[in-house]
Amino acid sequence: MEGVILKPGKDKAVRNRHHWIFSGAVRDLPEFENGAVLPVRSAQGELLGHATFNRNSSIVGRMISFGKQAPEEALRESVERAVALRRRYFDPNTTNAFRLINAEGDHLPGFIADLYADVLVVQVGSLGMEKLKPFLLELLGAAVKPRSIYERSDLLSRREEGLPEFEGLLRGEPVGSVRVVEEGLPFWVDVVHSQKTGFYLDQREMRKLARVFAPGRRVLNAFSYTGAFSVYALKGGALCADAVDASESAIALAQENFELNGLPSNAGLFFVADVFQFLREPGLDYDFLILDPPAFAKRKTDVVQACRGYKDINRLALQRVRRQGLVMTCSCSHFVDDGLFQKVVFQAAGEAGRRVRILQRHRQAFDHPVNIYHPETEYLKGLLLYVD
């Protein structure tokens, strides 16, 4: 029987269309070169699909097709469906920066592609996808015809896959800053010297919400990165929007984004500072605080420490926000789920001694779909709080 044979009873996850096969589920591995695509079979020999395999990784297999569908056919279909979903709901005149392929969320494990106007930025997380990259780029190139394709695979997780970190131009002309529009607002995205692939596309829905609740508010955009929340808030009618971030280059780009949007220089102050310290400064006068910190829990073992960080920052925000104020608080740690995050905010509210109501809940924007069969794709959550 050709392919990888799973242990009896260890085929349930794959039958449920989960993408990962852990080494403990495998009974027999044939001779193969790491990164190869192999058929996956139950202990009884039934074909369950195809996966890329890598002995070096604890996730030894990553399913790219299920059942009898040929792997190339499945990849083609997944790319086409991912592109079709975005085409259907994004008008490029209004929003031309979005996630085109969300890895397992679009049935393409370990492969991310973000489109910034006509520049495609890809991120490859596994050796299997590295080997399939030429095929995927061909499909994507034909579908969106980008001016350039740039790779931002500066992921520590690649080490376990035996892949070095990699950044560089894959196709087309050299790229630097790209001008995009999101919800009709222009932004500079630096796809080369930036965080993630350039822009926190996943927060689009939260930014829209910030715009709706902004009128008449004095806003503090904490962990501002390149100032996107500030621009939305000011365009929505905020009185002012100050930005704090630890990264000097992010703050510099935030200032350029103010200019690009025609906002006056007195619309907000910019601080290169640690938010934990900034929120302890005397004399803060804000009635809308936005907290969008980086993932405090990158691994499961970080959760306790991460919750301490989330509680501190939320307690500080809830203490400092003015009466009848708003706090928009987010967490992008997969391992801190909705329920746990709300508990942490509940404790922070108690310690701050404020009356707090949840007005809205949010999650990652729809171009970061969550695969119902692979819930690990869910990571971002946010609460909009009203503080009496």
Interface residue list for ligand SAH (CB under 6 A): 195, 200, 203, 223-226, 228-229, 244-247, 250, 274-276, 292-294
245 or 378, CB closer to ligand SAH? 245
Tokens 């929120």 correspond to 279
- Residues 143, 78: contact at Cβ < 8 Å? no
Distance CA 335, CA 315 (A): 21
Residues in the chain: 388
> At closest approach, how far in Å is the CB of 244 from ligand SAH?
6
> At closest approach, how far in Å is the CB of 227 from ligand SAH?
7
Displacement of CA 218 from its chain's centroid (Å): 28
66 or 278, CB closer to ligand SAH? 278
Q: Which of 234, 244, 195, 206 is nearest to 329 (CA)?
A: 206
Q: Residues with Cβ < 8 Å from 236, sequence gap 6 or more? A: 210, 211, 212, 213, 214, 215
DSSP 179: E
The residue annotated as part of the active site, out of 240, 307, 330, 332, is 332
Q: Which of 276, 319, 270 is nearest to 296 (CA)?
A: 276
Amino acid at 101: I
Q: Give me 388's structure tokens.
A: 């009496």
- Residues 29, 64: contact at Cβ < 8 Å? no
> At closest approach, how far in Å is the CB of 249 from ligand SAH?
9
> At closest approach, how far in Å is the CB of 229 from ligand SAH?
5
> At closest approach, how far in Å is the CB of 356 from ligand SAH?
21
116 or 225, CB closer to ligand SAH? 225
153 or 226, CB closer to ligand SAH? 226
Distance CA 98, CA 120 (A): 10
Distance CA 80, CA 84 (A): 6
Across 76-113, b (16+ Cβ under 10 Å) vs e yields eebbeebbebbeeebeeeebbbbbbbbbbbbbbbbbbb
Q: Residues with Cβ < 8 Å from 181, sequence gap 6 or more? A: 93, 94, 95, 96, 97, 187
287 or 292, CB closer to ligand SAH? 292
> At closest approach, how far in Å is the CB of 363 from ligand SAH?
15
Collapsed DSSP state (helix, strand, coil) of residue 322: coil
Q: Give me 77's structure tokens.
A: 């279909």
Is residue 330 annotated as part of the catalytic site, yes or no? no
List residues bridging with 247 in a β-sheet: none
Q: Give me 131's structure tokens.
A: 């080997």
> At closest approach, how far in Å is the CB of 294 from ligand SAH?
4
What's the burial of 183, exposed, middle or buried (CB within 10 Å: 0-12/13-18/19+)? middle
Q: How far from 267 is each of 245, 255, 279, CA to CA, in Å?
A: 17, 11, 20
108 or 238, CB closer to ligand SAH? 238
83 or 244, CB closer to ligand SAH? 244
48 or 251, CB closer to ligand SAH? 251
> At closest approach, how far in Å is the CB of 245 from ligand SAH?
5
The residues that are catalytic are 332
